Amino acid sequence: MKRSLQKQQVEDIIRGATLLGAGGGGSAKSGYLMVEEIKNVVVIDPTDVSDGSTVVVVAGMGSPVVLLKEGWRGEEVPALERMEEILRKKVDYIVPVEIGGFNSITPLRAGAIKGLPVIDGDGAGRAIPELEQTTYNLGGVPVEPICLADSKGNSGVLYPKDAKMGEDMARAITTIFGMTAGIACYPMTGKQLKETVIPGTLSAAEATGKAIREAKEAGKDVVEAALKAINGVLLAKGKVTKMTKEVKGGFDYGRIYAGNVIVDYKNENMMAWENNQPLVTVPDSICWLRLDGEPLTNADIEEGMEVAVIGKKAHPKWIALNGFKLFKHVLESIGYMGDYVPLK
């Protein structure tokens, strides 16, 4: 099924994707700045893509804090154009790498500008800090070539041996570019897409954003509306009493104390603690919703905010393919050496 998105639908996607982004995926503020550029973009169901089609992931890469401060200049389009030069053919479809208030919108912007349909799906069902942490990678889709571009006309093409090396190489280039870059990667066939994508995530983000918007407009409980929309679990509700934040190696790191839980993040929320015990870890999601109905990323959160901390189970593909293994090194870098703790 194909459908064209209208302005309200794009705004609902931004709102819903910000919640579903698990603290990352870029601030909704960055996404809203692109809304006027997204006209006549078509979204298509993965099942309607032919096996021989060429599909490419398009996204923005870098520090959400830097992105929020300095803005986005459309770097994803030259990255896509460089990919087409390398492939020596036109791309048929664009697909998001993740869900997020920014990275669900960059492919829509690129699709609108280049006249390309965008797949209703992504490679994570949430936002992720690193390129290898996708169901595309779990399903055996090579990440290379990786094409990167900045806003000044600089670009690079990388040929890593695996997705983790691709992440490290791309992150180094992104840091040189000033902590943000447009990226095109994971070129794949329609057949590979259908085997690895998490389907329907743009539609899910839209439905979630609509549910939150309508609850807020009707004066209803926005937290309950969000929980119902994403089949989520309320982990905590209360004030953000303390937080740490630093940018290093092209990532935002920090710890947030909210209500009765503590959340550790690397761009995205990696795990939550309660009473000094692990409560939930990636690939399950830990999401932020301000009590007035505004979904938040870690780049948006400030001490004193009243928030709900919402858990959401990972898509079954993550569990079936032992996706936790792709996050272990991240958790170890923040001091957690244990196993996957699923949402209860």
Per-residue pLDDT tens digits for 28-60: 999 999 999 999 999 999 999 999 999 999 999
Q: What gap in Å lies between CA 189 and CA 14, rounded to an integer? A: 27
Residue 147 sits in the same domain as residue 290: no
Domain with 148 in it: what CATH number?
Answer: 3.40.1610.10
- The residue out of 199, 234, 257 marking a domain boundary is 199
Q: What is the per-residue pLDDT for 292?
A: 96
Residue 173 sits in the same domain as residue 242: no
Residue 51 sits in the same domain as residue 186: yes
Q: What gap in Å lies between CA 150 and CA 139, rounded to an integer? A: 29
Q: How many domains does the structure of the chain reveal?
A: 2
Residue 186 sits in the same domain as residue 253: no
Residue 184 sits in the same domain as residue 137: yes
Asked if residue 214 belongs to a domain, the reply is: no
Residue 70 sits in the same domain as residue 162: yes
Residue 238 sits in the same domain as residue 316: yes
Q: What gap in Å lies between CA 313 and CA 235, rounded to an integer? A: 12
Asked if residue 343 belongs to a domain, the reply is: no
Residue 96 sits in the same domain as residue 152: yes
Find the domain containing 153 and state its range. 2-199
* Surface-to-core class of residue 243, CB atoms within 10 Å of its CB (0-12 exposed, 13-18 middle, 19+ buried): middle
- The residue out of 164, 199, 234 marking a domain boundary is 199
- The residue out of 145, 166, 199 marking a domain boundary is 199
Q: What is the per-residue pLDDT for 325?
A: 97
Beta-carbon neighbour count of residue 320 at 10 Å?
10
Q: What is the per-residue pLDDT for 71?
A: 83
Asked if residue 213 belongs to a domain, the reply is: no
Q: What gap in Å lies between CA 37 and CA 132, rounded to an integer? A: 30
Q: What is the per-residue pLDDT for 302?
A: 96
- How far from each other are the two terminal CA atoms of the chain, in whole angstroms? 35
Rounded to the nearest 5°, which phi and psi values hold at 137? -65, -45
Residue 225 sits in the same domain as residue 158: no
Beta-carbon neighbour count of residue 181 at 10 Å?
28
Peptide bond preceding 145 in cis form (omega within 30 of 0): yes
- How many secondary structure helices (H) and strands (E) does the chain include? 12, 18
Q: State both tokens at 41.
A: 């973009």
Q: What gap in Å lies between CA 343 and CA 292, rounded to an integer? A: 25
Residue 227 sits in the same domain as residue 285: yes
Residue 13 sits in the same domain as residue 152: yes
Asked if residue 112 belongs to a domain, the reply is: yes
Q: What gap in Å lies between CA 270 and CA 341, rounded to an integer? A: 11
Asked if residue 209 belongs to a domain, the reply is: no
3-state secondary structure of 245: strand
Q: What is the per-residue pLDDT for 304?
A: 98
- As averages over each run of 10 residues, the pLDDT of the chain (344 residues) reads 95 98 92 93 98 98 83 94 98 98 96 98 97 97 98 96 97 93 98 98 98 98 98 98 87 93 96 97 98 95 97 97 96 94 96
Residue 237 sits in the same domain as residue 135: no
Asked if residue 212 belongs to a domain, the reply is: no
Predicted TM-score (pTM) of the model is 0.96
